[in-house]
Amino acid sequence: MTRLWGVLSVATLVGLGVLVGPAAPACACSCAGPVGPAEAADRSTAVFSGTVRDVDRPWGLMTSSADPVAVTIEVAEVYKGEVPAEVVVSTAAESPSCGYHFEVGGRYLVFADGALDDLRTGLCSGNRDLASVSNPFGGGGPPATGGVGSGWPAAGTYAGLVAGGALALVLIFWWWPRIRRIQLAGRS
């Protein structure tokens, strides 16, 4: 019996070593340094100020700091690009993955990159919380008329949950007869 416990202990340690040993080191977000508004605007395809109306954060057991967050912003002024009155930008969920933290109701100056239907921003983009700093740009233009720019598919927001639930049901129905046979065989 003691020998069995020794073998199981060694097997467990080897298994943990295989799982944990090859892990890559974790890296935090690293920006090249503070970005001024003019430089941030040059690097961006869209620059605008507005109020955050919704922040759609990922949730669940298997989330990552790099998971996308959809931020819906009611645009007040546009400084660069054709930005509609309401736009959705995506950012990483957490700052270690260079995600920018937006609060619902907060006013921000946003520097975004990408196509209008896939605008992205982050910690290194130069965004500014207008509650704590002044807007460095004077007199922007009004938002463009048209629909919502969105890099976040509304129909696909919960697709991962649905797929995960379906997979769980398939596994349960596939494994249940096998588990039941093993239980019944153990009683005999």
What is the average pLDDT across 95-101? 86
The whole-chain average pLDDT of the chain stands at 77
Nearest partner of 50 among 102, 116, 106, judged by Cα = 106
The pTM of the full predicted model, rounded to 2 decimals, is 0.62
Q: For residue 169, is pLDDT > 80?
A: no
Q: For residue 41, is pLDDT > 60?
A: yes
- Spans of all domains in the chain: 37-153, 158-188
What is the average pLDDT across 127-154? 73
CATH of 37-153, one of 3.30.70.1140, 2.40.50.120, 3.30.70.20, 3.30.565.10: 2.40.50.120
